[in-house]
Chain A
């Protein structure tokens, strides 16, 4: 699903590599944690995967698409195959829960009759069927993240990238989100979670890739959180 081959990235004007010689291979259907303290290169990695930035060198393939050969006009097509959730949810505050999820389908020009069917189904999946009329500010953090998750999944992506999905949540809500991600993964979606939530990483016993100062320092199946201190 994801192949990074000797990927290096340096920010424009930067002296050091934010990512230095990264080699990662993630198979379809895997659940992977990418961990590391701030400045380790996690965010840069997510941005590269979303094709928001170009690697300085090396090659990157996601879902069979070679980023070095990808034409600009085809970027939207690629992004439709990747779902993404963020730490701060990034919901549209002036729209209801239903509209926020439907928005993702409108953007990719899904016919209205499908939107009417798929949005309620997705809200049921994340346990928010009864809150479809609410606005984001009327929801708890956990609920907002579930709306964001519904939005990321409604277009049935092959890969789900979650950037610190529990960063703004209490432990109870964090676990609920992780269980949902596990469910989604069980149904076949490849899930990559960038986090520094030690407890969750240690409890879930999934593959853990640890980054430090832009380099991979460990990549373990059923791994745990490596304390750098």
Chain B
């Protein structure tokens, strides 16, 4: 296609949008709501995943050893565990460290005095352990079975409920958002198709003349495809701007207002978030416009 023809098609496409302003706005509106929701869900999911990653590191498995076990045997168990693919991090907590940590939690500022009162006798002397975090929590049960079967291991304590809860919540949010977005995508395609059908009806005579003069199918269809793409593009840029503003405000509000959240949880930075969200939203918007317009022109505009 020549550049002059391309420019002509773009001008005609924009003219179509102006002529069918009401329907164009309806189509843009649907895509905006669709991609706005998509943007919101995306921000939630990404932050959720990031939080989950943080949580994964706090969901630990503790491996305790048989009473009276010697250090070499503990090291051997450690080496065996370290070889496993599931292991993300693994730390050895000695009996003394375990006692000190317990004392700190239990007696807070007076822990040193409390420990002194035991006069070097460690009540947790059999509580040395390996603290393990996993790469993927879904394999936790299987991994715990393995750990329990190791020779010299007395007890394996886990936080299975937490792990399952995180997985389940993440899946529910994921599926619900996919469902809602899919419905909205379908509605968008339908509305774009409707808008373009009206455009074609309005320009019926012009199209008939074009065909008789010898316009190719592509030339006749191009302005309508431009129309669909522009509607899709505008429909994707508006929600991006809205989600950007919203995210920015919500994050600064929450961080400023709730210390508990800001101390325990780091929001994904807005730039990292939008580095992915902008291309995805634009691609969905343009894709919707293309699908809607190509389907409609193929149906109505045959030479």
User: Could you list which residues of chain A lie within 8 angstroms of chain B, going by C-beta atoms?
Assistant: 50, 52, 72-73, 75-80, 84, 90, 92, 103-104, 106-109, 111-112, 151, 155
A108 touches B214 (CB 8 A): yes
Contact A107 B214, beta carbon cutoff 8 Å: yes
Query: Do A92 and B209 have beta carbons less than 8 Å apart?
Result: yes
Lowest 8 A-B CB distances belong to which pairs? A80-B214, A79-B214, A107-B215, A76-B214, A76-B216, A109-B5, A112-B4, A107-B213
| Residue from the list A73, A77, A112, A151 in contact with B214, Cβ < 8 A | A77
B214 proximity list for chain A (CB < 8 A):
76-80, 107-108, 155
**Minimum distance in angstroms from A69 CB to a CB of chain B:** 17
Name the A residues within 8 Å of B216 (CB-CB): 76
Of B208, B209, B216, B303, most buried by chain A (CB within 10 Å of CB) is B209
Majority secondary structure, A binding face: helix
Query: Given known contacts A76-B214, A77-B214, is B209 in contact with A109 (CB within 8 Å)?
Result: no
Does B8 lie at the interface of the complex (its beta carbon under 8 Å from any beta carbon of A)?
Answer: yes
With both chains docked as a complex, state the minimum distance between the C-beta of B82 and any C-beta of chain A, in angstroms.
66
* Chain B residues with CB below 8 A from A151, complex form: 213
Q: Is the CB of A106 within 8 A of B8?
A: yes
Query: CB within 8 A of A111: which of B1, B4, B206?
Result: B4
Q: In the bound complex, do residue B2 and residue A111 qualify as a contact, i.e. CB atoms below 8 Å apart?
A: yes
Q: Establish whether residues A92 and B5, one from each chain, have CB atoms under 8 Å apart when the complex forms.
A: no
Inter-chain contact B1/A72, CB cutoff 8 Å: no
A212 to chain B, nearest CB (A): 27
List, in ascending order, chain B residues with CB within 8 A of A72's CB.
303
Residue B135 lies at the interface, judged by CB distance under 8 Å to chain A: no
Chain B residue at minimal CB-CB distance from A90: B209
Question: With A106-B5, A107-B219, A112-B4 in contact, is A79–B209 under 8 Å at CB?
Answer: no
Contacts of B210 in A (CB 8 A): 107
- Tell me, in angstroms, the Cα distance from A155 to B4 when the chains sit together: 17
**Contact sample, A vs B, 25 pairs, CB 8 Å cutoff:** A76-B211, A76-B217, A79-B213, A79-B214, A80-B213, A80-B214, A90-B205, A92-B205, A92-B206, A92-B209, A103-B209, A103-B213, A104-B213, A106-B4, A106-B5, A107-B214, A107-B215, A107-B219, A108-B213, A108-B215, A109-B4, A109-B5, A111-B2, A151-B213, A155-B214
Instruction: Give min CB distance, A206 to chain B, whole Å.
Output: 25
Is residue B212 contacting chain A, with contact meaning CB distance below 8 A?
yes
Minimum CB distance partner of A161 in chain B: B212
Chain A, Cβ-Cβ closest to B19: A94
On chain A, the residues within 8 Å of B205 by CB distance are 90, 92
CA distance A78 to B219 in the complex (A): 16
B2–A109 touching, CB < 8 Å: yes
Name the distance in Å between B7's Cβ and chain A's nearest Cβ: 9
Give chain B interface residues in 53-83, CB to chain A under 8 Å.
none
With A and B bound together, what is the CA distance between A72 and B303 in angstroms?
8
Tell me whether A79 and B206 are in contact (CB under 8 A): no
CA distance A112 to B214 in the complex (A): 18
From residue B21, how far is it (CB to closest CB) to chain A in Å? 16
Contact residues in A for B206 (Cβ distance below 8 Å):
92
Least Cβ distance of A81 to chain B in Å?
8
Residues of A within 8 A of B212 (CB): 50, 52, 79, 84
B1, B8, B214, B217, most chain A CB atoms within 10 A: B214
Q: Which residues of A are found within 8 Å of B213, using beta-carbon distances?
A: 79-80, 103-104, 107-108, 151, 155
Contacts of B217 in A (CB 8 A): 73, 76
Q: Select from chain A the residue with minimum beta-carbon distance to B219.
A: A107
Nearest-Cβ distance from residue B219 to partner chain A, whole angstroms: 6
Distance in angstroms between the alpha carbons of A52 and B302 in the assembled complex: 11
Q: CB-nearest residue of chain A relative to B15?
A: A94
> Quick check: A76 and B2 within 8 Å, CB to CB?
no
Given contacts A90-B205, A90-B209, contact A109 B1 (CB under 8 A): yes
Query: For residue B208, which residues in chain A have a CB less than 8 angstroms away from its CB?
Result: 90
